[in-house]
């Protein structure tokens, strides 16, 4: 008698449905994402589980958790879908067309220049679909570790992960204060004088905060944080309201409608010279679309750099 085959028989559709459930941690949201009804998702996941021969999901109350086998399958699905997307992009490239999905994760401060660079890119490559995640630095690193995107943009790359990183743009950090502040008209303000002001800072783990703290440590300046805020908009409004001064990326001041309320202070050692990096996991094979955007980003950064230079001259 022929021995029964132990090979798993699964379909592409089952894998797509499972990946959506695992990612969204919900049968309902997965069904909505893929435009199917929930019973279809449940039935397909049940068949997939039977084929694998091990539980893939555990439901505790209303929450869904992945089992060990489920986590392995989720990673396999990502690799399969990524490989297929790369194949589709290579085929399109052979046809002389740039099309496909581009996934970018970036820290919040990068929102002041990256989206503006995407407009011309879209005009040049209208076949590209973009998924853009704008989150704090810790979340970008989490996505990087899990290889969830094509490219990552941040100012302070992690040093505990094997990555390819490429500097593409300067990221000067400046001190801002209310326009009517007593230091607004002074020149070459000593760091010791600045440290007497109330400091408003970004949250712990922010690239701007890490760079600022390194700078102060290097100059042996103690400047205790009086207020912590989670985004640049909140910081700028707090500064404009007279609650203190802050260190921010000069990029966050470009196209700023609050110019009449804020002043950039002339402080010794500032602007602090930092950089923007585009990075990805070491050994990762970039898709055609990701490589195209990578090349475009590094080439077009000169225009943003010129804007920074012009803004500094006018300040």
To the question of pTM greater than 0.75 for the whole model, the response is no
- The residues spanned by each domain of the chain are 12-73, 98-169+276-314, 173-273
CATH 2.60.120.260 fits 98-169+276-314, yes or no: no
pLDDT top residue among 129 and 211: 211
- Domain spanning 173-273 has what CATH number? 3.40.190.10
% of the chain at pLDDT higher than 90: 59
Confidence at residue 206, expressed as pLDDT on a 0 to 100 scale: 92
If you average pLDDT over every residue of the chain, what do you get? 88
pLDDT tier at 2, thresholds 50, 70, 90:
very low
- The pLDDT value recorded for residue 6 is 63
Query: Tell me: the pLDDT tens digits for 12-63?
Result: 999 999 999 999 889 998 998 888 999 999 999 999 999 999 999 998 877 8
CATH of domain 12-73: 1.10.10.10
Same fold, 98-169+276-314 and 173-273: yes
Indicate whether 246 pLDDT > 70.
Answer: yes
Give the per-residue pLDDT at 109.
92
CA dihedral in degrees (252, 257, 258, 262; nearest 10)?
50
pLDDT value, residue 123: 86
């Amino acid at each position: 008698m022929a021995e029964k085959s132990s090979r798993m028989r699964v379909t592409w559709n089952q894998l797509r449905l499972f990946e959506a459930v695992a990612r969204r941690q919900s049968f309902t949201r997965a069904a909505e994402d893929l435009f199917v009804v929930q019973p279809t998702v449940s039935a397909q996941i049940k068949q997939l589980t039977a084929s694998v021969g091990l539980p893939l999901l555990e439901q505790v109350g209303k929450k869904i958790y992945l089992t060990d086998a489920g986590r392995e399958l989720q990673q396999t699905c990502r690799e399969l879908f990524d490989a297929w997307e790369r194949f589709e992009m290579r085929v399109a490239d052979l046809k002389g067309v740039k099309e496909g999905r581009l996934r970018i994760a970036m820290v919040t401060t990068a929102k002041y220049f990256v989206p503006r660079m995407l407009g011309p890119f879209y005009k040049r490559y209208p076949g590209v679909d973009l998924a853009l995640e704008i989150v704090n630095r810790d979340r970008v690193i989490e996505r990087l570790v899990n290889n969830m995107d094509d490219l990552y943009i941040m100012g302070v790359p992690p040093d505990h992960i094997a990555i390819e990183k490429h500097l593409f743009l300067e990221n000067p950090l400046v001190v801002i204060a209310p326009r009517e502040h007593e230091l607004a008209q002074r020149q070459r303000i000593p760091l010791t004088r600045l440290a007497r002001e109330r400091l408003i800072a970004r949250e712990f783990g922010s690239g701007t905060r890490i760079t600022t703290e390194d700078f102060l440590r290097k100059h042996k300046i103690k400047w205790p944080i009086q207020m912590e805020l989670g985004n640049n908009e909140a910081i700028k409004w707090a500064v404009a309201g007279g609650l203190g001064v802050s260190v921010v990326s000069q990029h966050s001041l470009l196209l700023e409608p609050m110019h009449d309320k804020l002043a950039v202070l002339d402080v010794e050692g500032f602007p602090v010279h930092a950089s923007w990096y585009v990075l990805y996991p070491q050994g990762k094979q970039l898709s055609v679309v990701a490589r195209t955007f990578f090349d475009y980003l590094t080439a077009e950064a000169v225009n943003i750099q010129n804007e920074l230079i012009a803004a500094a001259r006018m300040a």
